[in-house]
A and B are shown apart, each in its own frame.
Chain A
Amino acid sequence: MATNASANVIRTGGGARFVIYTLLALFCIYYLLPLYVMVVNSLKPLSEIQAGGMMSLPHEWTLAPWRSAWSTAQIGVAATGLKPYFLNSILMVVPAVAISTVLGALNGYVLTKWRFTGDTVVFGLLLFGCFIPFQMVLIPMARMLGLMGLAGTVPGLIFVHLVYGIGFSTLYFRNYYQQFPTELVRAAMIDGAGFFTIFRRIMLPSSGPIAVVCIIWQFTNIWNDFLFGASFSDYDSQPMTVALNNLVQSSTGVKEYNVHFAGAIMAALPTLIVYIVAGRYFVRGLMAGSVKG
Protein backbone atom coordinates (compact mmCIF):
# COMPACT_ATOMS: atom_id res chain seq x y z
CA MET A 1 0.00 0.00 0.00
CA ALA A 2 2.80 2.39 -0.83
CA THR A 3 0.87 4.75 -3.04
CA ASN A 4 -2.54 6.26 -2.67
CA ALA A 5 -3.74 5.36 -6.12
CA SER A 6 -6.68 7.68 -6.50
CA ALA A 7 -5.19 10.44 -4.40
CA ASN A 8 -2.27 10.74 -6.80
CA VAL A 9 -4.75 11.91 -9.35
CA ILE A 10 -7.60 13.41 -7.39
CA ARG A 11 -6.55 16.66 -5.80
CA THR A 12 -8.35 18.34 -3.01
CA GLY A 13 -8.14 22.01 -2.06
CA GLY A 14 -7.34 23.48 1.36
CA GLY A 15 -10.95 23.91 2.42
CA ALA A 16 -11.84 20.38 1.41
CA ARG A 17 -8.85 19.04 3.31
CA PHE A 18 -10.00 20.82 6.45
CA VAL A 19 -13.40 19.15 6.11
CA ILE A 20 -11.77 15.76 5.51
CA TYR A 21 -9.56 15.99 8.58
CA THR A 22 -12.49 17.16 10.70
CA LEU A 23 -14.62 14.23 9.58
CA LEU A 24 -11.82 11.76 10.18
CA ALA A 25 -11.25 13.19 13.66
CA LEU A 26 -14.98 12.97 14.46
CA PHE A 27 -14.99 9.32 13.53
CA CYS A 28 -11.93 8.73 15.70
CA ILE A 29 -14.01 10.05 18.58
CA TYR A 30 -16.92 7.79 17.60
CA TYR A 31 -14.76 4.67 17.59
CA LEU A 32 -12.88 5.60 20.74
CA LEU A 33 -15.91 6.67 22.75
CA PRO A 34 -16.92 3.24 24.11
CA LEU A 35 -13.31 2.51 25.03
CA TYR A 36 -13.11 5.86 26.81
CA VAL A 37 -16.36 5.10 28.63
CA MET A 38 -15.07 1.71 29.73
CA VAL A 39 -11.69 2.95 30.95
CA VAL A 40 -12.88 6.10 32.68
CA ASN A 41 -15.78 4.45 34.46
CA SER A 42 -13.72 1.50 35.62
CA LEU A 43 -11.61 3.96 37.62
CA LYS A 44 -14.33 5.85 39.49
CA PRO A 45 -16.64 5.07 42.42
CA LEU A 46 -20.11 3.80 41.56
CA SER A 47 -21.78 6.91 42.99
CA GLU A 48 -20.19 9.13 40.33
CA ILE A 49 -21.67 6.99 37.54
CA GLN A 50 -25.10 6.92 39.18
CA ALA A 51 -25.03 10.71 39.45
CA GLY A 52 -24.88 11.02 35.65
CA GLY A 53 -21.11 11.45 35.37
CA MET A 54 -20.46 8.69 32.84
CA MET A 55 -18.66 10.98 30.43
CA SER A 56 -16.51 12.88 32.90
CA LEU A 57 -13.13 11.94 34.28
CA PRO A 58 -13.18 10.49 37.80
CA HIS A 59 -13.22 13.03 40.63
CA GLU A 60 -11.90 10.36 42.87
CA TRP A 61 -9.62 7.86 41.13
CA THR A 62 -9.84 4.31 42.41
CA LEU A 63 -8.66 0.84 41.49
CA ALA A 64 -11.27 -0.83 43.67
CA PRO A 65 -13.52 -1.81 40.71
CA TRP A 66 -10.57 -3.58 39.08
CA ARG A 67 -9.73 -5.45 42.26
CA SER A 68 -13.35 -6.42 42.67
CA ALA A 69 -13.78 -7.57 39.08
CA TRP A 70 -10.61 -9.62 39.26
CA SER A 71 -10.96 -11.37 42.58
CA THR A 72 -14.15 -10.76 44.55
CA ALA A 73 -17.10 -9.99 42.26
CA GLN A 74 -20.06 -12.37 42.25
CA ILE A 75 -20.02 -14.50 39.07
CA GLY A 76 -23.01 -16.82 38.93
CA VAL A 77 -23.06 -18.66 42.24
CA ALA A 78 -19.55 -17.89 43.47
CA ALA A 79 -17.85 -14.65 44.52
CA THR A 80 -14.57 -15.45 42.83
CA GLY A 81 -14.13 -12.51 40.50
CA LEU A 82 -13.08 -13.10 36.90
CA LYS A 83 -9.64 -14.49 37.68
CA PRO A 84 -10.43 -18.23 37.46
CA TYR A 85 -12.31 -17.68 34.20
CA PHE A 86 -9.46 -15.70 32.73
CA LEU A 87 -7.25 -18.70 33.49
CA ASN A 88 -9.84 -21.02 31.90
CA SER A 89 -9.71 -18.96 28.74
CA ILE A 90 -5.93 -19.14 28.62
CA LEU A 91 -5.94 -22.90 29.25
CA MET A 92 -8.48 -23.22 26.44
CA VAL A 93 -6.90 -20.88 23.92
CA VAL A 94 -3.27 -21.99 24.00
CA PRO A 95 -3.65 -25.66 23.04
CA ALA A 96 -6.55 -25.00 20.65
CA VAL A 97 -4.53 -22.38 18.76
CA ALA A 98 -1.34 -24.43 18.73
CA ILE A 99 -2.91 -27.64 17.46
CA SER A 100 -5.17 -26.05 14.87
CA THR A 101 -2.25 -24.02 13.49
CA VAL A 102 -0.02 -27.08 13.13
CA LEU A 103 -2.80 -29.07 11.45
CA GLY A 104 -3.57 -26.11 9.19
CA ALA A 105 0.06 -25.88 8.11
CA LEU A 106 0.23 -29.59 7.28
CA ASN A 107 -3.10 -29.49 5.44
CA GLY A 108 -2.07 -26.43 3.45
CA TYR A 109 1.19 -28.14 2.54
CA VAL A 110 -0.56 -31.27 1.30
CA LEU A 111 -3.23 -29.34 -0.59
CA THR A 112 -0.70 -27.26 -2.52
CA LYS A 113 2.46 -29.35 -2.88
CA TRP A 114 1.14 -32.92 -2.90
CA ARG A 115 -1.95 -32.39 -4.94
CA PHE A 116 -4.25 -35.27 -5.74
CA THR A 117 -7.49 -35.70 -7.61
CA GLY A 118 -10.31 -34.13 -5.70
CA ASP A 119 -8.11 -31.93 -3.53
CA THR A 120 -10.15 -28.85 -4.41
CA VAL A 121 -13.29 -30.64 -3.27
CA VAL A 122 -11.60 -31.49 0.03
CA PHE A 123 -10.58 -27.87 0.45
CA GLY A 124 -14.07 -26.68 -0.43
CA LEU A 125 -15.52 -28.99 2.22
CA LEU A 126 -13.08 -27.66 4.83
CA LEU A 127 -13.78 -24.10 3.78
CA PHE A 128 -17.56 -24.28 3.94
CA GLY A 129 -17.18 -25.68 7.45
CA CYS A 130 -15.79 -22.27 8.50
CA PHE A 131 -18.99 -20.48 7.68
CA ILE A 132 -21.79 -22.72 8.91
CA PRO A 133 -23.98 -21.31 11.66
CA PHE A 134 -22.79 -23.22 14.70
CA GLN A 135 -26.39 -23.55 15.88
CA MET A 136 -26.46 -26.43 13.43
CA VAL A 137 -23.91 -28.44 15.43
CA LEU A 138 -24.80 -27.51 19.01
CA ILE A 139 -27.18 -30.40 19.70
CA PRO A 140 -25.06 -33.28 18.36
CA MET A 141 -21.87 -31.73 19.79
CA ALA A 142 -23.40 -31.59 23.25
CA ARG A 143 -24.16 -35.31 22.99
CA MET A 144 -20.78 -36.14 21.51
CA LEU A 145 -18.92 -34.32 24.31
CA GLY A 146 -21.03 -36.29 26.77
CA LEU A 147 -20.09 -39.57 25.08
CA MET A 148 -16.43 -38.59 25.10
CA GLY A 149 -16.61 -37.68 28.79
CA LEU A 150 -15.62 -34.10 27.99
CA ALA A 151 -18.93 -32.37 28.71
CA GLY A 152 -18.52 -29.20 30.74
CA THR A 153 -14.72 -29.31 30.79
CA VAL A 154 -11.96 -27.11 29.44
CA PRO A 155 -10.56 -30.00 27.31
CA GLY A 156 -14.04 -30.30 25.79
CA LEU A 157 -13.93 -26.65 24.78
CA ILE A 158 -10.41 -27.09 23.39
CA PHE A 159 -11.69 -29.94 21.28
CA VAL A 160 -14.64 -27.94 19.95
CA HIS A 161 -12.49 -24.95 19.03
CA LEU A 162 -9.94 -27.22 17.44
CA VAL A 163 -12.55 -28.93 15.29
CA TYR A 164 -14.06 -25.70 14.01
CA GLY A 165 -10.71 -23.89 13.77
CA ILE A 166 -9.12 -26.27 11.28
CA GLY A 167 -10.96 -24.79 8.30
CA PHE A 168 -9.59 -21.30 8.71
CA SER A 169 -6.04 -22.35 9.54
CA THR A 170 -6.01 -24.60 6.46
CA LEU A 171 -7.33 -21.70 4.39
CA TYR A 172 -4.49 -19.42 5.49
CA PHE A 173 -1.68 -21.90 4.92
CA ARG A 174 -3.11 -23.21 1.67
CA ASN A 175 -3.36 -19.72 0.16
CA TYR A 176 0.12 -18.87 1.42
CA TYR A 177 1.82 -22.06 0.24
CA GLN A 178 0.18 -21.66 -3.14
CA GLN A 179 2.52 -18.72 -3.76
CA PHE A 180 5.53 -20.76 -2.64
CA PRO A 181 7.65 -21.99 -5.60
CA THR A 182 6.81 -25.62 -6.26
CA GLU A 183 10.15 -26.02 -8.10
CA LEU A 184 11.99 -25.89 -4.78
CA VAL A 185 9.83 -28.68 -3.44
CA ARG A 186 10.32 -30.73 -6.57
CA ALA A 187 14.07 -30.26 -6.51
CA ALA A 188 14.17 -31.47 -2.93
CA MET A 189 12.12 -34.52 -3.89
CA ILE A 190 14.60 -35.39 -6.60
CA ASP A 191 17.34 -35.11 -4.01
CA GLY A 192 15.48 -37.75 -2.08
CA ALA A 193 13.96 -35.59 0.64
CA GLY A 194 10.79 -37.03 2.13
CA PHE A 195 7.44 -35.50 2.96
CA PHE A 196 8.27 -34.32 6.45
CA THR A 197 11.85 -33.32 5.64
CA ILE A 198 10.62 -30.98 2.93
CA PHE A 199 8.00 -29.58 5.27
CA ARG A 200 10.50 -28.99 8.06
CA ARG A 201 13.46 -27.76 6.03
CA ILE A 202 11.80 -25.89 3.17
CA MET A 203 8.24 -24.92 4.02
CA LEU A 204 8.44 -24.15 7.73
CA PRO A 205 11.40 -21.72 7.62
CA SER A 206 9.43 -19.42 5.32
CA SER A 207 6.09 -19.81 7.07
CA GLY A 208 6.68 -17.18 9.75
CA PRO A 209 4.33 -14.46 8.51
CA ILE A 210 1.38 -16.73 7.81
CA ALA A 211 1.86 -18.55 11.09
CA VAL A 212 1.59 -15.20 12.88
CA VAL A 213 -1.55 -14.34 10.90
CA CYS A 214 -3.09 -17.72 11.67
CA ILE A 215 -2.20 -17.68 15.36
CA ILE A 216 -3.60 -14.18 15.81
CA TRP A 217 -6.81 -15.05 14.00
CA GLN A 218 -7.37 -18.25 15.98
CA PHE A 219 -6.44 -16.58 19.23
CA THR A 220 -8.86 -13.69 18.67
CA ASN A 221 -11.70 -15.93 17.55
CA ILE A 222 -11.35 -18.51 20.29
CA TRP A 223 -10.77 -15.97 23.04
CA ASN A 224 -13.82 -13.98 21.92
CA ASP A 225 -16.10 -16.97 21.42
CA PHE A 226 -19.27 -16.95 23.46
CA LEU A 227 -21.62 -19.47 21.87
CA PHE A 228 -19.52 -22.61 22.47
CA GLY A 229 -18.46 -21.37 25.89
CA ALA A 230 -22.06 -20.79 26.91
CA SER A 231 -23.22 -24.13 25.47
CA PHE A 232 -20.51 -26.53 26.58
CA SER A 233 -19.05 -25.28 29.85
CA ASP A 234 -19.94 -25.73 33.52
CA TYR A 235 -19.56 -23.20 36.31
CA ASP A 236 -15.94 -24.12 36.84
CA SER A 237 -14.92 -24.33 33.19
CA GLN A 238 -16.52 -21.15 31.80
CA PRO A 239 -14.35 -18.99 29.58
CA MET A 240 -13.93 -15.27 30.18
CA THR A 241 -16.68 -14.08 27.83
CA VAL A 242 -19.32 -16.22 29.52
CA ALA A 243 -18.20 -15.14 32.98
CA LEU A 244 -18.22 -11.48 31.95
CA ASN A 245 -21.75 -11.86 30.64
CA ASN A 246 -22.83 -13.49 33.90
CA LEU A 247 -21.25 -10.66 35.84
CA VAL A 248 -23.02 -7.98 33.80
CA GLN A 249 -26.41 -9.71 33.57
CA SER A 250 -26.64 -10.75 37.22
CA SER A 251 -29.95 -9.43 38.46
CA THR A 252 -29.25 -9.51 42.17
CA GLY A 253 -28.08 -6.51 44.18
CA VAL A 254 -26.90 -3.11 43.01
CA LYS A 255 -25.54 -2.97 39.46
CA GLU A 256 -21.87 -2.16 39.86
CA TYR A 257 -21.28 -0.56 36.51
CA ASN A 258 -17.69 0.34 37.33
CA VAL A 259 -16.93 -3.32 38.08
CA HIS A 260 -18.63 -4.37 34.84
CA PHE A 261 -16.48 -1.96 32.84
CA ALA A 262 -13.31 -3.16 34.57
CA GLY A 263 -14.30 -6.75 33.78
CA ALA A 264 -15.04 -5.86 30.16
CA ILE A 265 -11.58 -4.33 29.78
CA MET A 266 -10.01 -7.46 31.29
CA ALA A 267 -11.84 -9.60 28.74
CA ALA A 268 -10.78 -7.25 25.94
CA LEU A 269 -7.18 -6.73 26.96
CA PRO A 270 -5.51 -9.87 25.57
CA THR A 271 -6.92 -9.46 22.07
CA LEU A 272 -6.47 -5.71 22.19
CA ILE A 273 -2.80 -6.08 23.07
CA VAL A 274 -2.32 -8.54 20.24
CA TYR A 275 -4.01 -6.08 17.89
CA ILE A 276 -1.84 -3.17 18.97
CA VAL A 277 1.40 -5.17 18.87
CA ALA A 278 0.71 -7.03 15.63
CA GLY A 279 -2.12 -5.09 14.00
CA ARG A 280 -0.67 -5.54 10.52
CA TYR A 281 -0.98 -9.32 10.77
CA PHE A 282 -4.42 -9.05 12.31
CA VAL A 283 -5.70 -7.05 9.36
CA ARG A 284 -4.04 -9.40 6.92
CA GLY A 285 -5.81 -12.32 8.55
CA LEU A 286 -9.15 -10.56 8.40
CA MET A 287 -8.71 -9.81 4.73
CA ALA A 288 -7.48 -13.28 3.81
CA GLY A 289 -10.39 -14.77 5.71
CA SER A 290 -12.91 -12.80 3.71
CA VAL A 291 -11.63 -11.47 0.43
CA LYS A 292 -10.06 -14.66 -0.79
CA GLY A 293 -11.67 -18.04 -0.54
Chain B
Amino acid sequence: MSMTATRRSGNDWLRDALPKIVLSPSLAIVLVFVYGFILFTFYLSFTDSRILPSYGLVGWQNYSRLFSVRAWGIAIDNLLIFGSLYIVICCVLGLALAILLDQKIRAEGFIRTIYLYPMALSFIVTGTAWKWFLDPGIGLQAVVRSWGWESFTFEWIKDSHMAIYTIVIAAVWQTSGFVMAMFLAGLRGIDNEVLKAAQIDGASNWSLYRRIVIPQLRPAFMSAFVVLAHMAIKSYDLVIALTGGGPGTATELPATFMYSYTFTRNQMGIGAASATIMLMSIAAIMVPYIWSELREKK
Protein backbone atom coordinates (compact mmCIF):
# COMPACT_ATOMS: atom_id res chain seq x y z
CA MET B 1 0.00 0.00 0.00
CA SER B 2 2.83 2.39 0.75
CA MET B 3 4.31 1.39 -2.61
CA THR B 4 2.01 3.79 -4.42
CA ALA B 5 2.97 6.57 -2.06
CA THR B 6 6.62 5.90 -2.70
CA ARG B 7 6.12 6.19 -6.41
CA ARG B 8 4.17 9.42 -6.07
CA SER B 9 6.98 11.08 -4.17
CA GLY B 10 9.33 10.90 -7.12
CA ASN B 11 11.29 8.66 -9.41
CA ASP B 12 14.41 9.24 -7.48
CA TRP B 13 16.22 5.90 -7.47
CA LEU B 14 17.80 6.46 -4.07
CA ARG B 15 14.45 7.23 -2.59
CA ASP B 16 13.00 3.96 -3.78
CA ALA B 17 16.03 1.96 -2.82
CA LEU B 18 16.67 3.54 0.57
CA PRO B 19 14.38 1.27 2.61
CA LYS B 20 15.95 -1.80 1.06
CA ILE B 21 19.42 -0.39 1.64
CA VAL B 22 18.57 0.12 5.30
CA LEU B 23 17.25 -3.42 5.61
CA SER B 24 20.06 -5.08 3.67
CA PRO B 25 22.81 -5.19 6.35
CA SER B 26 20.49 -7.10 8.68
CA LEU B 27 19.39 -9.41 5.92
CA ALA B 28 22.98 -9.99 4.85
CA ILE B 29 24.03 -10.73 8.44
CA VAL B 30 21.22 -13.22 8.87
CA LEU B 31 21.84 -14.87 5.52
CA VAL B 32 25.52 -15.36 6.31
CA PHE B 33 25.53 -15.97 10.05
CA VAL B 34 22.33 -17.96 10.32
CA TYR B 35 21.70 -19.68 7.01
CA GLY B 36 25.27 -19.76 5.69
CA PHE B 37 26.47 -21.15 9.00
CA ILE B 38 23.70 -23.72 9.05
CA LEU B 39 24.78 -24.93 5.62
CA PHE B 40 28.42 -24.98 6.73
CA THR B 41 27.68 -27.08 9.82
CA PHE B 42 25.40 -29.32 7.77
CA TYR B 43 28.26 -29.84 5.32
CA LEU B 44 30.69 -30.56 8.15
CA SER B 45 28.39 -33.31 9.36
CA PHE B 46 29.32 -35.25 6.22
CA THR B 47 33.06 -34.73 6.59
CA ASP B 48 35.92 -36.28 8.52
CA SER B 49 36.36 -33.18 10.73
CA ARG B 50 37.99 -33.92 14.07
CA ILE B 51 39.66 -31.15 16.05
CA LEU B 52 39.33 -28.67 13.17
CA PRO B 53 37.01 -28.51 10.18
CA SER B 54 38.21 -30.76 7.40
CA TYR B 55 36.55 -31.23 4.05
CA GLY B 56 36.97 -34.90 3.19
CA LEU B 57 33.48 -36.29 2.63
CA VAL B 58 32.56 -39.47 4.46
CA GLY B 59 28.89 -39.78 3.57
CA TRP B 60 26.50 -40.70 6.35
CA GLN B 61 29.22 -42.15 8.51
CA ASN B 62 28.97 -39.48 11.21
CA TYR B 63 25.24 -40.05 11.52
CA SER B 64 25.55 -43.81 11.79
CA ARG B 65 28.33 -43.42 14.35
CA LEU B 66 26.30 -40.82 16.21
CA PHE B 67 23.40 -43.19 16.65
CA SER B 68 25.67 -46.00 17.76
CA VAL B 69 27.35 -43.88 20.47
CA ARG B 70 25.89 -44.71 23.88
CA ALA B 71 26.04 -41.11 25.12
CA TRP B 72 23.82 -39.94 22.25
CA GLY B 73 21.26 -42.63 23.05
CA ILE B 74 21.26 -41.44 26.66
CA ALA B 75 20.94 -37.82 25.51
CA ILE B 76 17.92 -38.66 23.33
CA ASP B 77 16.25 -40.73 26.06
CA ASN B 78 16.88 -37.93 28.53
CA LEU B 79 15.48 -35.35 26.17
CA LEU B 80 12.30 -37.41 25.77
CA ILE B 81 11.92 -37.86 29.54
CA PHE B 82 12.88 -34.30 30.38
CA GLY B 83 11.01 -32.70 27.49
CA SER B 84 7.72 -34.49 28.05
CA LEU B 85 7.69 -34.03 31.82
CA TYR B 86 8.80 -30.41 31.49
CA ILE B 87 6.08 -29.58 28.98
CA VAL B 88 3.30 -31.49 30.77
CA ILE B 89 4.10 -30.25 34.28
CA CYS B 90 4.58 -26.64 33.15
CA CYS B 91 1.26 -26.71 31.30
CA VAL B 92 -0.70 -28.35 34.13
CA LEU B 93 0.84 -26.14 36.79
CA GLY B 94 0.62 -23.03 34.61
CA LEU B 95 -3.04 -23.65 33.81
CA ALA B 96 -3.94 -24.44 37.43
CA LEU B 97 -2.23 -21.31 38.72
CA ALA B 98 -3.82 -19.19 36.00
CA ILE B 99 -7.30 -20.47 36.86
CA LEU B 100 -6.70 -19.86 40.57
CA LEU B 101 -5.40 -16.38 39.90
CA ASP B 102 -8.39 -15.60 37.72
CA GLN B 103 -10.81 -15.75 40.66
CA LYS B 104 -10.72 -12.05 41.57
CA ILE B 105 -7.74 -12.50 43.81
CA ARG B 106 -6.58 -9.68 46.01
CA ALA B 107 -2.97 -8.71 45.37
CA GLU B 108 -3.07 -10.57 42.07
CA GLY B 109 -0.37 -8.37 40.56
CA PHE B 110 1.92 -9.03 43.49
CA ILE B 111 1.43 -12.79 43.31
CA ARG B 112 1.99 -12.77 39.55
CA THR B 113 5.26 -10.92 40.08
CA ILE B 114 6.42 -13.64 42.47
CA TYR B 115 5.41 -16.48 40.13
CA LEU B 116 7.19 -14.98 37.19
CA TYR B 117 10.47 -13.62 38.53
CA PRO B 118 12.47 -16.85 37.93
CA MET B 119 12.04 -16.15 34.22
CA ALA B 120 14.32 -13.13 34.62
CA LEU B 121 17.16 -15.22 36.04
CA SER B 122 19.97 -16.92 34.22
CA PHE B 123 19.78 -20.70 34.12
CA ILE B 124 23.25 -20.65 35.68
CA VAL B 125 21.82 -18.84 38.71
CA THR B 126 18.85 -21.22 38.87
CA GLY B 127 21.19 -24.17 38.50
CA THR B 128 23.46 -22.94 41.29
CA ALA B 129 20.58 -22.38 43.71
CA TRP B 130 19.00 -25.79 43.05
CA LYS B 131 22.33 -27.60 42.89
CA TRP B 132 23.07 -26.78 46.53
CA PHE B 133 19.47 -26.99 47.67
CA LEU B 134 19.23 -30.55 46.31
CA ASP B 135 22.70 -31.53 47.51
CA PRO B 136 22.25 -34.29 50.09
CA GLY B 137 25.22 -33.07 52.14
CA ILE B 138 23.95 -29.56 52.87
CA GLY B 139 20.59 -29.11 51.19
CA LEU B 140 17.09 -30.43 51.74
CA GLN B 141 18.17 -33.84 53.03
CA ALA B 142 20.62 -32.39 55.57
CA VAL B 143 18.05 -29.82 56.70
CA VAL B 144 15.25 -32.32 57.24
CA ARG B 145 17.66 -34.62 59.07
CA SER B 146 18.76 -31.76 61.31
CA TRP B 147 15.10 -31.22 62.16
CA GLY B 148 15.01 -34.73 63.64
CA TRP B 149 13.86 -36.99 60.76
CA GLU B 150 17.15 -38.90 60.71
CA SER B 151 16.28 -41.39 58.00
CA PHE B 152 15.01 -38.83 55.47
CA THR B 153 16.73 -39.41 52.16
CA PHE B 154 16.65 -37.28 49.01
CA GLU B 155 19.65 -37.98 46.82
CA TRP B 156 18.24 -37.70 43.31
CA ILE B 157 20.97 -35.35 42.15
CA LYS B 158 23.62 -37.98 43.00
CA ASP B 159 21.60 -40.90 41.62
CA SER B 160 22.17 -41.60 37.95
CA HIS B 161 18.62 -42.93 37.53
CA MET B 162 16.94 -39.97 39.19
CA ALA B 163 19.25 -37.03 38.35
CA ILE B 164 17.37 -36.14 35.17
CA TYR B 165 14.31 -35.43 37.31
CA THR B 166 16.19 -32.78 39.25
CA ILE B 167 16.64 -30.98 35.93
CA VAL B 168 12.87 -31.17 35.48
CA ILE B 169 12.33 -29.70 38.97
CA ALA B 170 14.60 -26.72 38.36
CA ALA B 171 13.39 -26.10 34.80
CA VAL B 172 9.73 -26.21 35.86
CA TRP B 173 10.50 -23.78 38.66
CA GLN B 174 12.03 -21.39 36.16
CA THR B 175 9.39 -21.49 33.43
CA SER B 176 6.03 -22.46 34.92
CA GLY B 177 5.25 -18.87 35.97
CA PHE B 178 5.65 -17.79 32.39
CA VAL B 179 3.26 -20.50 31.19
CA MET B 180 0.85 -19.28 33.87
CA ALA B 181 1.05 -15.78 32.39
CA MET B 182 0.31 -17.12 28.91
CA PHE B 183 -2.76 -19.01 30.13
CA LEU B 184 -3.92 -16.06 32.20
CA ALA B 185 -3.82 -13.86 29.10
CA GLY B 186 -5.85 -16.55 27.31
CA LEU B 187 -8.40 -16.73 30.12
CA ARG B 188 -8.87 -12.96 30.05
CA GLY B 189 -9.74 -13.17 26.39
CA ILE B 190 -12.66 -15.56 26.80
CA ASP B 191 -16.13 -14.31 26.04
CA ASN B 192 -18.28 -13.86 29.13
CA GLU B 193 -21.61 -14.37 27.44
CA VAL B 194 -21.04 -18.01 26.55
CA LEU B 195 -20.13 -18.72 30.14
CA LYS B 196 -23.22 -16.95 31.46
CA ALA B 197 -25.47 -18.87 29.12
CA ALA B 198 -23.96 -22.19 30.14
CA GLN B 199 -24.33 -21.28 33.78
CA ILE B 200 -28.00 -20.46 33.36
CA ASP B 201 -28.31 -23.93 31.87
CA GLY B 202 -27.09 -25.21 35.23
CA ALA B 203 -23.52 -26.15 34.41
CA SER B 204 -21.23 -26.55 37.41
CA ASN B 205 -17.97 -24.63 37.74
CA TRP B 206 -16.01 -27.77 36.97
CA SER B 207 -17.88 -28.48 33.76
CA LEU B 208 -17.73 -24.81 32.77
CA TYR B 209 -13.96 -25.04 32.82
CA ARG B 210 -13.76 -28.48 31.29
CA ARG B 211 -16.30 -27.95 28.52
CA ILE B 212 -15.97 -24.26 27.67
CA VAL B 213 -12.96 -22.49 29.13
CA ILE B 214 -10.18 -25.01 28.55
CA PRO B 215 -11.15 -25.82 24.94
CA GLN B 216 -11.02 -22.10 24.19
CA LEU B 217 -7.46 -21.96 25.47
CA ARG B 218 -6.21 -23.97 22.50
CA PRO B 219 -4.09 -21.15 21.06
CA ALA B 220 -2.45 -20.64 24.46
CA PHE B 221 -1.72 -24.37 24.65
CA MET B 222 -0.20 -24.23 21.17
CA SER B 223 2.06 -21.31 22.07
CA ALA B 224 3.07 -22.89 25.37
CA PHE B 225 3.89 -26.15 23.64
CA VAL B 226 6.01 -24.50 20.97
CA VAL B 227 7.91 -22.35 23.47
CA LEU B 228 8.51 -25.17 25.92
CA ALA B 229 9.47 -27.77 23.32
CA HIS B 230 11.95 -25.41 21.75
CA MET B 231 13.41 -24.51 25.15
CA ALA B 232 13.69 -28.20 26.07
CA ILE B 233 15.62 -29.05 22.90
CA LYS B 234 17.98 -26.12 23.44
CA SER B 235 18.50 -26.79 27.17
CA TYR B 236 22.17 -26.48 27.93
CA ASP B 237 23.06 -23.98 30.67
CA LEU B 238 20.80 -25.52 33.28
CA VAL B 239 22.32 -28.97 32.89
CA ILE B 240 25.84 -27.56 32.99
CA ALA B 241 25.15 -25.60 36.18
CA LEU B 242 23.00 -28.18 37.96
CA THR B 243 24.66 -31.52 37.24
CA GLY B 244 27.37 -30.88 34.66
CA GLY B 245 25.75 -33.70 32.67
CA GLY B 246 26.41 -36.16 35.47
CA PRO B 247 26.60 -38.25 37.52
CA GLY B 248 28.69 -39.81 34.76
CA THR B 249 26.65 -39.11 31.64
CA ALA B 250 23.28 -39.57 33.35
CA THR B 251 21.91 -36.12 32.53
CA GLU B 252 23.46 -35.68 29.11
CA LEU B 253 21.17 -33.83 26.69
CA PRO B 254 21.72 -33.28 22.95
CA ALA B 255 23.04 -29.76 23.57
CA THR B 256 25.65 -30.90 26.08
CA PHE B 257 26.54 -33.87 23.88
CA MET B 258 27.12 -31.60 20.90
CA TYR B 259 29.38 -29.32 22.90
CA SER B 260 31.53 -32.01 24.44
CA TYR B 261 31.92 -34.03 21.25
CA THR B 262 32.83 -30.96 19.21
CA PHE B 263 35.05 -29.03 21.56
CA THR B 264 36.48 -31.43 24.11
CA ARG B 265 36.46 -34.84 22.42
CA ASN B 266 37.52 -33.46 19.04
CA GLN B 267 34.86 -35.31 17.08
CA MET B 268 33.64 -32.29 15.18
CA GLY B 269 31.98 -34.33 12.43
CA ILE B 270 29.81 -36.16 14.95
CA GLY B 271 29.19 -32.91 16.83
CA ALA B 272 27.98 -31.29 13.62
CA ALA B 273 25.72 -34.26 12.94
CA SER B 274 24.18 -33.95 16.40
CA ALA B 275 23.64 -30.21 15.91
CA THR B 276 21.93 -30.96 12.61
CA ILE B 277 19.56 -33.37 14.33
CA MET B 278 18.78 -30.68 16.91
CA LEU B 279 18.05 -28.14 14.19
CA MET B 280 15.78 -30.58 12.36
CA SER B 281 13.73 -31.27 15.46
CA ILE B 282 13.33 -27.57 16.24
CA ALA B 283 12.50 -26.78 12.63
CA ALA B 284 9.82 -29.48 12.69
CA ILE B 285 8.13 -27.53 15.49
CA MET B 286 8.90 -23.92 14.60
CA VAL B 287 8.48 -23.82 10.82
CA PRO B 288 4.79 -24.80 10.75
CA TYR B 289 4.18 -22.43 13.67
CA ILE B 290 5.88 -19.42 12.08
CA TRP B 291 4.27 -20.28 8.76
CA SER B 292 0.77 -20.27 10.20
CA GLU B 293 1.40 -17.09 12.21
CA LEU B 294 2.66 -15.21 9.16
CA ARG B 295 -0.20 -16.44 6.98
CA GLU B 296 -2.79 -15.31 9.49
CA LYS B 297 -1.28 -11.84 9.53
CA LYS B 298 -1.60 -11.29 5.79
Contacts and interface: CB of A to CB of B under 8 A. Distances in A.
A137 B115 CA distance: 34
A37 B114 contact: no
A129 interface: yes
B124 interface: yes
Contacts of B18: 194-195
Contact residues of A: prevailing secondary structure: helix
B27 A122 contact: yes
A115 B111 CA distance: 43
B133 A124 contact: no
Contacts of A55: 143
Given A107-B23, A126-B26, A226-B240, A115 B1 contact: yes
Of A7, A38, A136, most buried by chain B (CB within 10 Å of CB) is A136
A55 B144 CA distance: 9
Contacts of B132: 37, 41, 54, 257, 260-261
Given A110-B23, A139-B271, A125 B188 contact: no
A95 B182 CA distance: 31
A118 to B, nearest CB: 10
Interface in A1-46: 1, 3-10, 12, 17, 20-21, 23-24, 27-28, 30-35, 37-38, 41
A141 to B, nearest CB: 7
A178 B29 CA distance: 24
B67 interface: no
Given A38-B129, A131-B230, A133-B282, A5 B192 contact: yes
Contacts of A195: 15, 18-19, 22
A87 interface: no
B120 A282 contact: yes
Given A125-B30, A271-B120, A137 B38 contact: yes
Nearest to A17: B103
A166 B26 CA distance: 7
A35 to B, nearest CB: 8
Given A115-B1, A241-B124, A272-B121, A54 B177 contact: no
B81 interface: no
A253 to B, nearest CB: 16
A293 B293 contact: yes
Contact of B146 (A10, A28, A52): A52
B223 A291 contact: yes
A276 B126 CA distance: 18
A147 interface: no
Contacts of B294: 120, 123-124, 127, 293
Interface residues of B, number: 122
A254 interface: no
B264 to A, nearest CB: 12
Contact of A272 (B120, B185, B220): B120
B226 interface: yes
A37 B208 CA distance: 40
Contacts of A30: 173
A286 interface: yes
A138 interface: yes
Measured as residues with beta carbon below 8 angstroms from the partner, the interface class of chain A is: 35 or more
A293 to B, nearest CB: 3
Contact of B30 (A129, A135, A194): A129
Contact of A287 (B130, B185, B187, B205): B185
A79 interface: no
A236 to B, nearest CB: 19
Given A139-B272, A264-B128, A34 B173 contact: yes
B212 to A, nearest CB: 9
Contacts of B145: 52
Contacts of A227: 236-237
A248 B282 contact: no
B104 to A, nearest CB: 5
Contact of B125 (A10, A129, A244, A286): A244
Given A31-B173, A34-B173, A194-B18, 11 more contacts: A5-B102, A7-B104, A55-B143, A103-B25, A127-B294, A131-B282, A139-B262, A189-B8, A224-B121, A264-B129, A275-B117
Instruction: List 10 A-B pairs, minimum CB-CB distance, nearest first.
Output: A293-B293, A52-B146, A114-B19, A224-B122, A275-B120, A226-B237, A34-B129, A129-B34, A135-B275, A137-B37
